[in-house]
């Protein structure tokens, strides 16, 4: 619910929180040893240092399982080489969880820490801010190059050994993204309703027109369905019964429905719908990012489809 309220206010703030808390901190909490959790999490919880989660690569977005970044053991250190893209907080984070394949081809998560702060990264860590984004403009995304970045042997999270471990984290973080989509939808609906009650056309408020009431009714129907889906997902999480398929279904549902709600809100506002002053334009743009990250609509549908049929359509 906090994630939804943050998105209702601003998508960039919600995304920053989702990356720092929902991905970086969650990965360490789920896959780190007791010592690793004590080392990193208190400082991150106090926001003394920001976190980032580096999984996506320039050539591997939806097919991120083809991970190319490598971690080579060299004495008491791991040496990381590769590239990452679309990494939220990647240019400002002091703690970056980097996913890579080790010498045996196993998937692992490695904590790259910049002790002197993100403005003074460790040797070999090169992060460049991605510019020209139309969505989530207030949160920085990074293109990262890792050229022989050295981290201590104990910087590898103790329980991160397979791709299934990464999936466990994504199953948790996708729940947050589903709630984010709901927040965007509520914000767009509220803005459109307020506008429809105040805006006069043809001598009466827009809210008196049947077409406007029809749109508002469908928007509320979508939002109510999203709320029920998210609530049920959270109940399953509390019972320890959540799976990646549940999270995928929720993200599939809310991402699509929120996109539809934001589009109808923009339509109700007419020309004013593209002005940032009315807020709908911002949510209309930001929902495109939510719709895409943490797995696109198509990827979520394939995860759900695999659970339905027992057949893997990814390959």
> 209 pLDDT exceeds 90?
yes
Q: Cα-flanking dihedrals φ and ψ of residue 211, to 5°?
A: -60, -40
Whether 28 has a pLDDT exceeding 90, the answer reads yes
Sign of CA dihedral 283, 285, 289, 290: positive
Task: Give the residue range(s) of CATH 1.20.140.10 domains in the chain.
Answer: 164-309
Domain with CATH 2.40.110.10 in the chain: 10-160
Q: What local confidence, expressed as pLDDT, does residue 120 receive?
A: 92
pLDDT above 90 for 304: yes
Residue 62: what pLDDT?
A: 73
pLDDT in tens, 244-285: 899 999 999 999 999 999 999 999 999 999 998 899 999 999
Q: What is the pLDDT of residue 250?
A: 95
pLDDT over 90 at 117, yes or no: no
* Nearest of 311, 236, 217, 233 to residue 4 by alpha carbon: 233
The residue ranking higher by pLDDT, 156 or 66, is 156
Question: Is residue 166 pLDDT above 90, yes or no?
Answer: no
Q: What is the pLDDT of residue 269?
A: 96
Predicted local distance difference test score (pLDDT) of residue 66: 83
Pick the CATH number of 164-309 from 3.50.50.60, 1.20.140.10, 1.10.3720.10, 1.20.1050.10: 1.20.140.10
Residue with tokens 């934001």: 262
Where do we find the tokens 């998560």?
109
Q: pTM here?
A: 0.92
What's residue 204's pLDDT? Answer: 95
What is the distance between the alpha carbons of residues 273 and 239, in angstroms, rounded to a whole number?
42
Mean pLDDT of 131-156: 95
Query: What is the CATH number assigned to the segment(s) 10-160?
Result: 2.40.110.10
What digits encode the pLDDT tens for the residues 172-195?
888 999 999 999 999 999 999 999
User: Residue 148's beta-bridge partner residues?
Assistant: none
Asked whether residue 315 carries a pLDDT value surpassing 80, the answer given is no
Structure tokens at 32: 């780190």
What pLDDT score does 171 carry?
A: 84
d(CA 86, CA 54): 8
What pLDDT sits at residue 214? 98
pLDDT at residue number 246? 93
Across 21-35, 43-57, 101-115, 167-181, least confident range = 167-181
What would the mean pLDDT of 58-84 be, rounded to a whole number?
A: 91
Give every CB contact of residue 34 below 8 A, 6+ residues apart in sequence: none
What does the pLDDT read at residue 268? 97
What is the C-alpha separation between 14 and 11, in angstroms, rounded?
5
Residues 248, 251: Cα–Cα separation, whole Å: 5
As a whole number, the mean pLDDT across the chain is 94
The confidence score (pLDDT) of residue 168 equals 87
Predicted local distance difference test score (pLDDT) of residue 123: 97
Write the DSSP string, the chain. -HHHHHHHH-HHHHHHHIIIIIIIIHHHHHHS-HHHHHHHHHHHHTTSS-EEEE--BTTBSTTGGG---EEEEETTEEEEEEEEEEEETTTT-SEEEEEEE-TTS-EEEEEEE-TT-TTSPPTTEEEEE----SSSTTS-EEEEEEEEEEEEGGGB-TT--SHHHHHHHHHHHHHHHHHHHHHHHHHHHHHHHHHHHH-EETTEEGGGSHHHHHHHHHHHHHHHHHHHHHHHHHHHHHTT---HHHHHHHHHHHHHHHHHHHHHHHHHTGGGGG-GGGSHHHHHHHHHHHHHTTS-HHHHHHHHHHHHHS-----
Q: How confident is the model at residue 146 (pLDDT cuts 50, 70, 90)?
A: very high
């Amino acid at each position: 619910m906090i994630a939804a309220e943050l998105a209702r206010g601003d998508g960039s703030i919600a995304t920053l929180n989702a990356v720092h808390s929902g991905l970086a901190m969650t990965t360490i909490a789920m896959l780190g040893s007791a010592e690793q959790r004590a080392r990193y999490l208190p400082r991150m919880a106090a926001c003394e240092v920001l976190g980032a989660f580096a999984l996506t690569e320039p050539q591997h977005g939806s097919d991120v399982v083809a991970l190319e970044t490598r971690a080579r053991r060299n004495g008491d250190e791991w040496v990381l080489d590769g590239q990452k893209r679309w990494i939220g907080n990647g240019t400002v984070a002091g703690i970056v969880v980097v996913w890579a394949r080790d010498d045996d081809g196993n998937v692992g998560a490695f904590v790259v820490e910049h002790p002197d702060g993100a403005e003074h990264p460790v040797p070999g860590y090169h992060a460049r801010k991605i510019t020209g984004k139309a969505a989530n403009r207030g949160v920085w995304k990074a293109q990262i190059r890792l050229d022989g970045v050295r981290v201590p042997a104990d910087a590898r999270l103790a329980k991160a050994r397979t791709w299934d471990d990464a999936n466990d984290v994504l199953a948790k973080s996708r729940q947050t993204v589903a709630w984010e989509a709901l927040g965007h939808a509520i914000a767009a609906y509220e803005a459109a309703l307020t506008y429809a009650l105040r805006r006069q056309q043809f001598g009466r408020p827009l809210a008196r027109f049947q077409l406007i009431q029809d749109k508002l009714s469908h928007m509320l129907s979508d939002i109510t369905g999203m709320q029920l889906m998210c609530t049920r997902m959270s109940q399953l999480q509390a019972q320890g019964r959540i799976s990646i398929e549940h999270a995928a279904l929720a993200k599939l549902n809310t991402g699509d429905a929120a996109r539809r709600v934001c589009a109808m809100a923009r339509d109700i506002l007419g020309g004013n719908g593209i002005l940032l002053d009315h807020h709908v334009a911002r949510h209309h743009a930001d929902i495109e990012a939510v719709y895409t990250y943490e797995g696109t609509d198509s990827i979520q549908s394939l995860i759900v489809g695999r659970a339905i049929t027992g057949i893997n359509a990814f390959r």
